[in-house]
Amino acid sequence: MFPRHRHFHEALPSKLARLFRERDLRALKAELWNEFADSGLIGINDHDCSALPRILPASYLPVIRRTCRDITESLMRILSLPSDEIRELLPPTPISEYMIRELGVLKHRKRRIIGSLRFDMAVVGKPSPDNPPKLMEVNDIGFDGTGRSSFIQETILKLFPILRREVICLDTAASEVRNMRRLGRRFVRFQYELYNWEEEVILKKARAIGLDMRLVSPSAFKVKLDEDCKLLSRECVRLRDGKLQIGANTRPPDAFQLSYSFELKDLKEAPGFFRDLVRSETPHYSPFITGLVAPKTILTVLEDKNILRRLIGEARAERLADTIVPARLLRGNEEEALHRPSRLVLKYADGMGGEHVFVGKKIPARLARILHKDHKYWVLQDRIDLNTIDVAGFLSRPRRVIADVGVYVHYDWDGARFTNFNVGGFITRATNRGFKVNVSGGGIQVPVMFAKQR
């Protein structure tokens, strides 16, 4: 468990607390479960979901937007530097080196970068305009939550309509597909052997705004498709006259996207296919090049005020400095890891889904197993005391949990400025099992809403 005295607890505003008491949370949990089950979405009831949302003050929303814009612009400006400067600035990781050397992401990069990111952030203390959220990680391709955040909150508001008058909610999935639509009407989303329920939500949102989205498993993967995924088709994907051709359809799509995140072994499974994607003139939504700024090592770059000043100017660099959780490479800092592990988090640069994250007493034991030559691929991050919230999951009992907040941003960068930028939505993942919060294989999904100011 966690020492409660160190964690600020976010209590519901009194009026909203009263509304939830009157609504009867036990009944709301049951109704939420039934609505999910009746939706027909694949596997939707497999993971816990809270009927009690996380509710932040509306005054905090501009703080999050400003902070996320500063972070995103910093990342885009890094990716718009000359290739040799990018390689000099960014610490290498196994995945980034492979993408540069074998896939040619710098050689074939486009000036325009359009896509989405999820920032895993933490609120530490009272959420107020002078206390911005803290950035813990950057996620670039195949992250979860885009569709589910929208569906969860829409379902709760349907079951509890009086709540709609009291809160502000952002539709993450709608923001995502509107940004995709900037590339055209015909969109292909590459899957592996299956899809999940949130991708069904995104598909429905896309069709509602006139975006023709197809789910395709490229034949290069040589996998058996999940028989429950009826919306997924296997197609031969090849490069023809510089553009992607999908199956027998000679007309290329207007854009494509990869739907799942990559470990190094995934990229090596079909290198020819991935090289074609990188070389293709067909626009790539959330392109591979953004993978260069997604490793945990990016925090060691963003916390350097001199770099930030160069990227976004003095005033914004000073402002952003308050939101980057201090981090440094393990190499050269091994003694710190051994002598003060209680206030540190050890992360593998290319880790994902909450894996390869070690806290406190587990750090020295893990350090003993890491080859010295690989110390440059590990990051030591300061341990912070994330806020706690109350949740009421339909697969669990009401409890107090440590909570991060996932912030989804949707951007269109022309090489020098944003032609579109939007904080599209939020989701919280939380656990009371320990200090590792951002885990995809556990915890509970919690919608995030903002209390209207009266």
pLDDT tens for the chain, residues 1 to 454? 455 568 999 999 999 999 999 999 999 999 999 999 999 999 999 999 999 999 999 999 999 999 999 999 999 999 999 999 999 999 999 999 999 999 999 999 999 999 999 999 999 999 999 999 999 999 998 888 899 999 999 999 999 999 999 999 999 999 999 999 999 999 999 999 999 999 999 999 999 999 999 999 999 999 999 999 999 999 999 999 999 999 998 899 999 999 888 889 999 999 999 999 999 999 999 999 999 999 999 999 999 999 999 999 999 999 998 899 999 999 999 999 999 999 999 999 998 767 789 998 999 999 999 999 999 999 999 999 999 999 999 999 999 999 999 999 999 999 999 999 999 999 998 876 554 544 444 579 999 999 998 6
What is the rounded CA–CA span in Å between residue 185 and residue 199? 18
Residue 4's pLDDT is what?
56
Q: What DSSP string runs through 66-99?
A: HHHHHHHHHHHHHHTS-HHHHHHHSPP-HHHHHI
What is the rounded CA–CA span in Å between residue 226 and residue 7? 43
Residue 376 near residue 333 (C-beta atoms within 8 A): no
Burial state string for 220-231 with b = 16 or more CB within 10 A and e = fewer than 16: bbeeebeeebee
What is the rounded CA–CA span in Å between residue 224 and residue 217? 10
Residue 142's pLDDT is what?
83
Residue 262's pLDDT is what?
83
Q: How many CB atoms lie within 10 A of CB 431?
A: 21
